Structure 1
Amino acid sequence: MTSAYLSGFGNEFASEALPGALPPGQNSPQRCPYKLYAEQISGSAFTAPRGANLRSWLYRIRPSVRHFGRFERIEIPLWRSAPARESDLPIGQYRWDPPPMPLGDLCFVEGVRSMTTAGDVDSRRGVSIGFYFATRSMIDDYFTDADGELMILPQEGALRLATEFGRLEVAPGEICVIPRGVKFRAELAGAAARGYVCENYGAPFTLPWRGPIGANGLAEARDFLAPVAAFEDEQTPSRLTVKWGGGFFACSLDHSPLDVVAWRGNLAPYKYDLARFSPVGSILFDHPDPSIFTVLTSPSGEPGVADIDLAIFPERWLVAEHSFRPPWFHVNLMSEFMGLIHGRYDAKQSGFAPGGASLHGAMLPHGPDAEAFERATRETLAPAKLEGTLAFMLETRLPQHLTSYAATLPTLQKDYADCWSGLPRRFDGAP
């Protein structure tokens, strides 16, 4: 599968797989070119302000009403939706080693394993975060999520995503976002794939306000890539699964629903190479707040407070003088789910492996382990570069609750809190 891309976050794009398939001048003419159907997909209310209004016009071989037949409820038991307060574990800091690849034949949708949920899926506020595993491609099998947009963060193995808008290939070190309601099929680029997945029920992810940083730095809109139009005109028995209200429903089709010949608008799937993120930081003293590492944010109704942020901790130079350089000890309003794509996270010397995860709940203290603290307080503070590392954090203002899967996962580190037990009383009473 080959892919081509359009550049720019939130841009109004126009793309056609056949010449002249886009109607000139009108979104919904009486007769569309090639006898196509015009259909709009809206990711916001019709009356949303212009800057926040998300919609695209799709020119397709069949309208989506032909896609939705008689539905039957199906079970995907380990993909959970909020509220799902399933764990009897006490509050605390939690960490997991990488879970093994499940046995059996799993496509991407069947392989989702929710670790935490927050908020309420029906109120369109909150999130579900976890792992995905895939050992086979989806063939004549399609999925759409009416509950939220999906952020996919591969950790091992690449995915090829065939969507209504075209094709995306996403590999470890990249992210992909599929908007609410967009149909897609996930295929494997190799033998298997695994990674992290975030289902965002709230406002669509957008670029954060850069404030005093100014016009440049962090993630640039130009580096986000949307697919060019590509369509499938296949009369093949297929299945479409829809996630709606926390449940899963499937119907049979006699064709591929990825039959969009052309599209225009500012709502589309997109991918981003995290290596293009331009970090900013201290160039004299002190460790800045982790908000400077925000790639994307889902705003809440409260100014300056996100429903969920994606922050990354990539390769970067550390140059601060007479400062404690790793993330400091802190007690935070936000709850933090962390994952590691590759390398080592600088605040944890051991125990946090690529493919693993940690959860630090709201107002529960956390920070560098004893070994990392001791090293950071003794090292010579010459300029140093963190290399070969990529960690991420999904943080939300809402409390994250463990699923039964997370609470009973054999890779749960029951001794995680012991990583701070080696922090001694250091007070010497001297001024």
Structure 2
Amino acid sequence: MVQYVRGRATTQAHVGLPPGTVEEEHGRGGFYGRASHLYRLNAPTGWTSIDGPLRPHAMDLRSLEDAGDERALPVDVLVNDDVRLGVWARTSPMPFFLRDADGDLTLFVHRGEGLLETDFGPLTYGPGDYLVLPRGTTFRLAPSADTFLLTIATTAGIEPPDKGLLGRHALWDESVVRVPDVDPHDEAGDFELVIRQRGQLTSVRYPFHPLDVVGWKGDLTAFALNALDLKPVSSFSYHLPPSAHTTFVAGNAVICTFVPRPLETAPDALKVPFYHRNIDYDEVIFYHHGDFFSRAGIEPGMLTWHPQGIHHGPHPKAVANAGSKDFTDEIAVMIDTRHPLEATPAGAGVELADYWASWME
């Protein structure tokens, strides 16, 4: 593929920027398609005002810690036809069983411990766990401690990423995945199953316990994966794009996980994310733990949302502090969506109105 070079530019992206410039990546297809790197005299986030819907957004999801609708189901904050992102707070076991018929359901445990009971058997959970439920799985959440979840519902199935040259054992090895063993219930009584499909709820009652599976086989099952079992890829001389931290793919959505890792140490390498206008994807980041090195004023339990079309990149304070850090202790979940998201009333209600102005500090 031909690459053109004009004016003052570096021969290697993200390394050895021309003095007095900042680098912006203008790319297609996430970070996989064609791209150009523009070397600017000023940061493209150095705006003085934004009038319109494409401003960067931040939501304080901690304000939704009582999250639950009339049936104590997850509360969505950002949605499109492919993905529903929300939060779910529970302090006691669900009094009914639930089945999502619209897609796979991924629960990220921000806080809490307990048991996720499923058709395939139970899974214990704790902070930092991804709990993945294939479409149509019957389950019940039974917390033993106050539980707060990020919910990611995708119409496409959750799959591992293509690890390419890294090999199948990179990022996460199949052996760290926790798969349930059967725990059949042979009980009589009155048991309710709630099925969610196209935004509507259907209630089905049984005279026997719905989780009565005595055995199963196959490669479609509920499973758990903890963020600290991920093995991040890093480079001392080159700032890797977020796609290097891909954990799952689901059609028009990608789930990435940022976990503690060393930063670049080469003197001419970027240490903070490069400015970019990821024109084909909305970018959402949920902050779980630690000090996220590219953001100022964002705390665990918050979420940021950068719509496709407008620039985003590190905060000025992060750029100023980059030289003093050689390690990051963050844990964060990033969801990129191919089609634009919309905020629900619940999400809009916890938005930090002045987040877009934080780059002006």
In which range does the TM-score fall when normalised by the shorter chain?
0.7 to 0.9
Letter in 1 for 2:331: L
Candidates 352, 356, 360, aligned match of 1:417 = 356
CA contact under 8 A between 2:61 and 2:303: conserved in structure 1? yes
**Shift in CA distance, 265/103, structure 1 to aligned 2, threshold 3 Å:** closer
- SS of alignment partner, residue 90 of structure 1: coil
CA contact under 8 A between 2:91 and 2:144: conserved in structure 1? no
CA contact under 8 A between 1:206 and 1:297: conserved in structure 2? yes
1:233 matched to which residue of 2? 186
Letter in 1 for 2:245: F
Candidates 110, 128, 146, aligned match of 2:84 = 128
Q: Superposed, which structure 2 residues align to 1:73-84 within 5 Å?
A: none
2:337 matches 1:337: no
Summarize deviations over 1:62-104 as a string: whole Å, max 9, x none. xxxxxxxxxxxxxxxxxxxxxxxxxxx8232100223335559
- SS of alignment partner, residue 375 of structure 1: helix
Q: Superposed, which structure 2 residues align to 1:187-336 within 5 Å?
A: 187-190=142-145, 192-202=146-156, 204-284=157-237, 286-299=238-251, 307-321=252-266, 322-332=268-278, 333-336=280-283
**Shift in CA distance, 128/224, structure 1 to aligned 2, threshold 3 Å:** same
What is the TM-score when the length of structure 2 is the normalising length? 0.81
- SS of alignment partner, residue 320 of structure 2: helix
Instruction: Give the Cα separation in 2 of the matches to 1:188 and 1:397.
Output: 34
CA contact under 8 A between 1:195 and 1:355: conserved in structure 2? no
**Shift in CA distance, 107/244, structure 1 to aligned 2, threshold 3 Å:** closer
**Shift in CA distance, 233/171, structure 1 to aligned 2, threshold 3 Å:** same
**1:252 Cα deviation after fit:** 2.1
Instruction: Give the Cα separation in 1 of the matches to 2:134 and 2:274.
Output: 35
Instruction: Give the Cα separation in 2 of the matches to 1:289 and 1:391.
Output: 15
2:32 matched to which residue of 1? none
CA contact under 8 A between 2:107 and 2:130: conserved in structure 1? yes
Letter in 1 for 2:275: F
Candidates 104, 126, 139, aligned match of 1:149 = 104
CA contact under 8 A between 2:94 and 2:142: conserved in structure 1? yes
Instruction: Give the Cα separation in 1 of the matches to 2:69 and 2:125.
Output: 16
**Shift in CA distance, 273/103, structure 1 to aligned 2, threshold 3 Å:** closer
Q: Superposed, which structure 2 residues align to 1:59-98 within 5 Å?
A: 90-98=53-61
Where has structure 1 moved over 4 Å in runs of 4 or more?
Answer: 101-104, 106-109
Candidates 122, 127, 132, aligned match of 1:172 = 127
**Shift in CA distance, 109/341, structure 1 to aligned 2, threshold 3 Å:** farther
**1:131 Cα deviation after fit:** 0.9
**1:211 Cα deviation after fit:** 1.7
**Shift in CA distance, 216/186, structure 1 to aligned 2, threshold 3 Å:** closer
Instruction: Give the Cα separation in 2 of the matches to 1:238 and 1:380.
Output: 58
What is the TM-score when the length of structure 1 is the normalising length? 0.68
**1:281 Cα deviation after fit:** 2.0
Candidates 386, 393, 397, aligned match of 2:328 = 386
Letter in 2 for 1:114: D
**1:360 Cα deviation after fit:** 0.7
**Between 90-99 and 268-277, the greater mean CA deviation after superposition:** 90-99
Summarize deviations over 1:293-351 as a string: whole Å, max 9, x none. 0011124xxxxxxx11111111001134112211121110211111011112110132x
Instruction: Give the Cα separation in 2 of the matches to 1:360 and 1:408.
Output: 17
Candidates 347, 350, 359, aligned match of 1:406 = 347
Instruction: Give the Cα separation in 2 of the matches to 1:176 and 1:109.
Output: 21
Letter in 1 for 2:97: Y
Bigger Rg over Cα: 1
**1:283 Cα deviation after fit:** 2.5
**1:362 Cα deviation after fit:** 1.3
1:426 matched to which residue of 2? none
Instruction: Give the Cα separation in 1 of the matches to 2:169 and 2:77.
Output: 35
Instruction: Give the Cα separation in 1 of the matches to 2:75 and 2:119.
Output: 25
Instruction: Give the Cα separation in 2 of the matches to 1:184 and 1:158.
Output: 16
**Shift in CA distance, 107/421, structure 1 to aligned 2, threshold 3 Å:** closer
How many residues are paired up?
308
CA contact under 8 A between 1:98 and 1:353: conserved in structure 2? no
Letter in 2 for 1:362: Q
2:75 matched to which residue of 1? 113
Instruction: Give the Cα separation in 2 of the matches to 1:391 and 1:102.
Output: 18
Summarize deviations over 1:129-178 as a string: whole Å, max 9, x none. 11111132113x10101101100001111231111110011211111101
Aligned-residue Cα RMSD (Å) equals 1.9
- SS of alignment partner, residue 195 of structure 2: strand
Instruction: Give the Cα separation in 2 of the matches to 1:146 and 1:219.
Output: 28
**1:413 Cα deviation after fit:** 0.9
Instruction: Give the Cα separation in 2 of the matches to 1:401 and 1:196.
Output: 17
Letter in 2 for 1:136: S
Letter in 1 for 2:103: G
The percentage of counterpart residues that share the same residue type is: 25
- SS of alignment partner, residue 262 of structure 1: coil
Instruction: Give the Cα separation in 1 of the matches to 2:208 and 2:122.
Output: 18
Summarize deviations over 1:17-71 as a string: whole Å, max 9, x none. xxxxxxxxxxxxxxxxxxxxxxxxxxxxxxxxxxxxxxxxxxxxxxxxxxxxxxx
1:11 matched to which residue of 2? none
| Structure 1 residues without counterparts, runs of 5 or longer | 1-88, 120-125, 300-306, 423-431
Instruction: Give the Cα separation in 2 of the matches to 1:196 and 1:348.
Output: 20
